[in-house]
Amino acid sequence: MAGKLQPIDIQRELTKIKHPELKKDIVSLGMIGSLEIGEDETSILVKTPSQDRRVQIGLEAQIRQTLSKKEGVGKVKIKFEVDPKMTLDDSNKILGVKKVIAIGSGKGGVGKSTVTVNLASTAAAMGYKVGVMDADIYGPSIGKMFGVNGKVALKAEEDKIYPLEKDGLKIISFSFLIEEKQPVVWRGPMLGKAVEQFLYDIVWGELDFLFIDLPPGTGDVQLSLAQLIDLDGAILVTTPQTVALLDANRAASMFQQVKVPILGVVENMSEFVCPNCGHSSAIFSKGGGQKLADSADTKFLGGVPLTMDVMSAGEAGKPLVFQEPDGIIAKSYKNILQNLAEEIKKWE
């Protein structure tokens, strides 16, 4: 026999209701003043600073619809209490996540996802609580790089999704929700909704860092992300050659226009290290990352050399910084993470 309905049971249901303007649920916003459960009636006091009846009517309709599915609620009585001095937190933050950092580039093929995976893995290896969100809806690759392929059964509870955990990181990718060869034919509004669900319907728990791997370019996903959440900053990934710098500068301009701090530049494939003799060769030119950092008025976080092991690790699904914790790649990412931490402090 099921136990008697408790106020906490009602609160769980009410977390599904988002404020129409603030994109947060009415419980976390502190709008539920009191809950009383009688034999045949449930009374709810909703506190709000707004006297806008349209907002109140919309919230009341959502509350009634949501609670109508809950057994034992009975008749729902809703009262609004308007307090003009009440302030609602309108910042778009993810509960429990300290820093949200986007990793982007102006073009594909620069190894942005590889940088995301290894930078996040480095942070996890250093004891930070880390999450990775693959926001590249059309070409998600984070799952493969962590050794998670195909469709994965995710644990869902109370209309929330729990990320997969691998190697001490929490990971979510659109590839976890679809078949491996299933095409994604979506327009802008659908992409924006997918990004919103990935941000706010995922139970991330307590995280020091959430790294978001963006798709190439400056399109709908990037703009939706900037509107939906208060990003703590962005990292630009480029390779040294001129054509990559041109596109990376466009990405830098986009972040500046949407008021997202650029925390620095990572130059991937800065040089090729011979697996036989260890000699380094600048096969893609030199100094591109520093040039981009100078033009974007930000810090050059560091360069990552290209090795045969980097490519094989991506295919094997095991980040190289885990495979070779004392190797040249791991040292590069430790240096980048240290520089990143210093830049984050400057923006706090």
- Tokens representing 18? 């988002």
Query: For the whole prediction, is pTM greater than 0.85?
Result: no
With bands split at pLDDT 50, 70 and 90, how would you rate the model's confidence at 339?
A: very high
Distance CA 305, CA 289 (A): 12
Asked whether 100 and 55 are in contact (CB, 8 A), the reply is no
What tens digit of pLDDT does each residue of 178-235 get? 665 655 545 555 666 767 777 777 888 899 999 999 877 656 667 777 777 788 999 9
Other CB atoms within 10 Å distance of the CB of residue 155: 10
Distance CA 273, CA 300 (A): 21
Confidence at residue 92, expressed as pLDDT on a 0 to 100 scale? 74
The answer to which of 200-214, 224-238, 252-266, 292-306 has the lowest mean pLDDT is 224-238
> How far apart are the C-alpha atoms of 344 and 346, rounded to whole Å?
5
Local structure of 313: helix, strand or coil:
helix
Average pLDDT over residues 289-308: 89
**2-12 mean pLDDT:** 79
Query: Which residue from 150, 133, 135 is spatially nearest to 223, judged by alpha carbons?
Result: 135
Kindly report which listed range (8-22, 74-88, 197-211, 216-230) carries the lowest average pLDDT score.
Answer: 216-230
As a whole-number percent, the residues of the chain with pLDDT over 70 amount to 82
Q: Where are the beta strands (DSSP E) in the chain?
A: 32-37, 41-48, 75-82, 97-104, 130-134, 156-157, 160-161, 164-166, 169-173, 207-213, 233-238, 262-273, 280-281, 300-306
* pLDDT value for 121: 96
Residue 125 has pLDDT above 80, yes or no: yes
Average pLDDT over residues 29-45: 90
The CA-based angle 305-101-308, given to 5 degrees, is 20
CA–CA gap between residue 295 and residue 292 (Å, rounded): 5
What is the three-state SS of 66-78?
HHCCCCCCCEEEE
**CA-to-CA dists, residue 300 to 134, 240, 258, 326, angstroms:** 24, 12, 21, 23
- 1 pLDDT above the threshold of 60: no
Pick the residue with more confidence: 194 or 294?
294
List, in sequence order, every residue forming a beta bridge with 18; answer none if it has no partner.
Answer: 25
The SS3 call for residue 192 is: helix
> How sure is the predictor about 30, in pLDDT bands with cuts at 50, 70 and 90?
confident
Determine which of 68-77, 136-145, 248-257 has the lowest per-residue pLDDT on average: 136-145
CB of 158 closer than 8 Å to CB of 16 = yes
Q: Identify the weakest region by mean pLDDT among 8-12, 53-57, 186-190, 199-203.
A: 186-190
- Rounded CA separation 102/125 (Å): 20
Other Cβ atoms closer than 10 A to 13: 17
* Average pLDDT of the residues of the chain: 82
- What is the pLDDT at residue 155? 60
Between 247 and 57, whose confidence is greater? 57
Mean pLDDT of 136-144: 75
Residue 157's φ and ψ, nearest 5 degrees, are -150, 125
Tokens of 329: 């790649």
The two structure tokens encoding residue 42: 């449930």
pLDDT reported for residue 129: 95
Q: Does residue 114 have a pLDDT over 70?
A: yes
Terminal-residue alpha carbon distance, the chain? 52
Q: How confident is the model at residue 99 (pLDDT cuts 50, 70, 90)?
A: very high
Neighbours of 175 (CB within 10 A): 24
Distances (CA, A) of 336 to 32, 87, 159, 173, 333: 44, 39, 37, 24, 5
Higher pLDDT, 347 or 85: 85
Q: Which two tokens stand for residue 63?
A: 């509350």
Other residues' Cβ atoms within 10 Å of the Cβ of residue 31? 23
- For residue 31, give both structure tokens: 């709008």
Nearest to 229 by CA among 340, 95, 348: 95
Residue 2 is encoded by which pair of tokens? 């099921």
Query: pLDDT, tens digit, for every residue of 313-332?
Result: 877 788 889 998 998 999 99
Q: Please indicate whether residue 51 or residue 200 has the higher confidence score (pLDDT).
A: 51
